[in-house]
Homo-oligomer: A and B are copies of this chain.
Amino acid sequence: MKTMTKSKGATALPLNTILSGDCIDAMNSLPENSIDLIFADPPYNLQLKGDLHRPDNSKVDAVDDEWDQFSSFAAYDKFTREWLTAARRLLKPNGAIWVIGSYHNVFRMGAELQNQGYWILNDVVWRKSNPMPNFRGKRFTNAHETMIWASKSEGAKYTFNYEALKALNEGVQMRSDWVLPICTGHERLKDENGDKAHPTQKPESLLHRVLVGSTNPGDVVLDPFFGTGTTGAVAKMLGRDFIGIEREAAYRKVAEKRLANTRKFDREALQVSASKRAEPRVPFGQLVERGMLRPGENLYSINGRHKVKVRADGTLIGDDVKGSIHQVGAHLEGAPSCNGWTYWSYKQDGKKVPIDVLRQQIRAEMAERPN
């Protein structure tokens, strides 16, 4: 499945592969403005002091790997500054980034994102339904992690599949707090000894929501701290291309095997609920041109308080106002704006019918006979 396509000038993107080595060097080897989304789960700089034991004296298998050790905040900040700089260079102008962390590192990442000109869109809380309890009763159960979602710069046109996320949430808009279980059971990858292959493997459900919400099929997703490849696996399932970067050979090996066993969902399943904004624009005048409404015909406001006349050029005229369906509606309601399509009705057989019904008819025809 490895591919080298979507070349940008002289350099091609190593799509659907895992690069080895230092993530900053690897990122700098890729062409600028070439990535749609970055998901980054960097070392958390945990600063654990000594071992932690449960009440039964069993030892907690803490994250004490060498890669998570930084000598100081300054060292961690330098690392953060460098990889975020490399990441920003890679992003397309309308690309975006997600970073995930805990209170140990997320404030430093968030501040650095802002310092570099990234524009924060949301912070999203992953609320774990089954976190590890606080065994000593000295603090609150650490039951969440924080993600930051940011565009490359202020004003960028980031991807946000609002309707798809709303559908995922059964018709209510998605909030900034996501309740999802941690990665356990069959999904949790094991090494040859049967121990967990990676200490902080993220659940696929988390990446599913991130990728459905902020990418489209065919987008290129980069994960500079690939680990055992959750980002790549979910990207592949969802029909996105991925690039992983991972320093540790053991993690790369587990990820390669995982990806080989991952299958893309079928095409139909990848279609998601689309926004109305994606529908083709229909000028109101077309209803008049097509004879669906006649010049001189009356339109009635949704609240029944206003009556206006259609003119031959597709504008409306009322007692003291004329203009487009939107302008006249806004003026009559004293509102800053008005969607004329849903505001006005015409009379058919004595009954009021919203003019939006006529727009639907035209759109249906367009779908049948494109052009």
- Chain A residues with CB under 8 Å of chain B are 51, 53, 57, 59, 73, 102-104, 106-111, 113-115, 120-125, 127, 129-131, 133-134, 137-144, 146, 148-149, 160-177, 180-181, 187, 204-205, 208-209, 212, 237-238, 265-266, 268-273, 275, 281, 283-286, 288-291, 294-296, 309-315, 317, 324, 333, 335-338, 365-366, 369
Contact A268 B309 (CB under 8 A): yes
Q: Give chain B residues whose Cβ lies under 8 Å from the Cβ of A168.
A: 283, 285-286, 288-289, 313-314
Q: Give chain B residues whose Cβ lies under 8 Å from the Cβ of A51.
A: 336
Residue in B106, B161, B273 whose CB lies within 8 Å of A315:
B273
- Given A110-B107, A288-B168, A295-B265, also A312-B127 (CB < 8 A): no
Contact A114 B108 (CB under 8 A): yes
Instruction: Count chain B CB atoms within 10 A of each CB in A113, A140, A317 and give the residue with the most.
Output: A140
Contact A270 B285 (CB under 8 A): no
Q: Give chain B residues whose Cβ lies under 8 Å from the Cβ of A109.
A: 107
Contact A167 B296 (CB under 8 A): no
Contact B111 A175 (CB under 8 A): no
Residue in B164, B289, B366 whose CB lies within 8 Å of A129:
B366
Distance in Å: Cβ of A135 to nearest Cβ of chain B: 10
Nearest 6 interchain pairs by C-beta: A107-B110, A168-B285, A269-B295, A170-B283, A269-B296, A143-B175
Contact B170 A324 (CB under 8 A): yes
Distance in Å: Cβ of A328 to nearest Cβ of chain B: 12
Contact B162 A138 (CB under 8 A): yes
Q: Give chain B residues whose Cβ lies under 8 Å from the Cβ of A170.
A: 281, 283-285, 314, 324
Q: Give chain B residues whose Cβ lies under 8 Å from the Cβ of A290.
A: 180-181, 205
Distance in Å: Cβ of A36 to nearest Cβ of chain B: 17
- Given A53-B337, A140-B175, also A312-B269 (CB < 8 A): yes
Q: Give chain B residues whose Cβ lies under 8 Å from the Cβ of A115.
A: 73
Residue in B59, B102, B204, B289 whose CB lies within 8 Å of A208:
B289
Distance in Å: Cβ of A217 to nearest Cβ of chain B: 9
Instruction: Count chain B CB atoms within 10 A of each CB in A165, A238, A312, A366 and give the residue with the most.
Output: A312
Q: Which residue of B is nearest A339, CB measured?
A: B55
- Given A168-B313, A268-B311, A312-B269, also A103-B131 (CB < 8 A): no
Contact B289 A265 (CB under 8 A): no
Query: How far apart are the CA atoms of A143 and B369 in the complex, in Å?
Result: 11
Q: Give chain B residues whose Cβ lies under 8 Å from the Cβ of A137.
A: 160, 162-163, 166, 173, 275
Q: Which residue of B is nearest A295, CB measured?
A: B269
Contact B296 A268 (CB under 8 A): yes
Query: How far apart are the CA atoms of A295 and B272 in the complex, in Å?
Result: 11
- Given A122-B139, A291-B187, also A313-B127 (CB < 8 A): no
